[in-house]
Amino acid sequence: MGRKGDRGEMAKRALIEQRPWLLASIAAAVAFYFLRDNPVGEGTWGLAAKGASVGLLALYVWLRVPSGRRGLDGALLTGALVLASAGDVAIELDFMTGGAFFAAAHVVAVALYLRNLHRRPSPSQKLIGAGLLIATPLVSWLLSGEAQIALYAAFLGAMASAAWMSHYPRYRVGTGAVLFVLSDWLIFSRLGPLDLAPLPDLLIWPLYYAGQVMIATGIVQCLRGEQPVR
């Protein structure tokens, strides 16, 4: 009975000390989604809400994983999220600068996933991983018609492929990475001849943010020992 009481107290403490940061991240993301086309959303408050969405997610990761379990993997995940948060803000000011931040975030994420590759990947996992690596830059180039976009998308595809090939749960982390790719494809479609309206306006931010949340929470579960390593 005492042990159950102790576990209950630990769960309450975790909720009080860490999970409000996740809720704050979600609140910021929802606020940005509904404010982004308003004068408020296009100014300082909008930039703050957008940057806080993934920035608070990075803080949640850092606080949610105990220091004894965090290690290099926790630092890499936090670093990737911080760089993505910077990219979220920078891309509103300068598209190329934002893309550079995101490319750096993908490099850090790839380093994390390569440290945690699946020990015995299935043939279908290998096939999908290869497909993401090749199709992501190819489709990005077809949608945008720009070589620079395809170059950036090579980093994006490497991230998604490595995430899919990692031992982290594919229904969370792998799928989250795929949502990230889909979000960027919708961005790139605005640059080329293919008109997908109104999908980009409706789905770019939800797909991207949902993907980041799935990646972050899925990896946190593994770092905390709540999800077995395969």
Sign of CA dihedral 34, 36, 39, 42: positive
**pLDDT score recorded for residue 194:** 87
User: Which pLDDT value is given to residue 67?
Assistant: 83
> What pLDDT score does 13 carry?
55
Candidates 66, 67, 112, 108; CA nearest to 86 is 108
Structure tokens at 123: 């043939």
Give the 3-state secondary structure of residue 166: strand
Q: Which pLDDT score, from 0 to 100, does residue 24 have?
A: 96
pLDDT at position 15? 47
* Residue 117 dihedral angles phi and psi, to the nearest 5°: -70, 150
Residue 203 CB burial class (10 angstroms; 0-12, 13-18, ≥19): middle
Per-residue model confidence (pLDDT) at position 45: 84
Q: Are 156 and 140 in contact (CB under 8 A)?
A: yes
What pTM, to 2 d.p., does this model score? 0.89
The structure tokens listed for 51 are 């940057």
pLDDT for the residue numbered 39? 57
Q: Mind listing the pLDDT tens digit of every residue in the chain (230 residues)?
A: 445 445 555 545 554 555 789 999 999 999 999 887 765 556 788 899 999 999 999 999 999 988 888 899 999 999 999 999 999 999 999 999 999 999 999 999 999 999 999 999 999 999 999 999 999 999 999 999 999 999 999 999 999 999 999 999 999 999 999 999 999 999 999 999 888 989 999 999 999 999 999 999 999 999 988 766 56
pLDDT recorded at residue 225: 83
H/E run at residue 146: none
Max Cα-Cα span within the chain: 65
